[in-house]
Amino acid sequence: MAMHAADLSVSSSIKRSAANMAG
Instruction: Kindly report, residue by residue over 1-23, the tens digit of the pLDDT.
Output: 677 888 999 999 999 999 999 88
- pLDDT at res. 1: 62
* pTM reported for the whole predicted model: 0.52
- pLDDT at res. 16: 96
3-state SS of the chain is CHHHHHHHHHHHHHHHHHHHHHC
- pLDDT at res. 8: 93
Amino acid present at 10 = V
Alpha-carbon gap, residue 7 to 23, rounded angstroms: 24
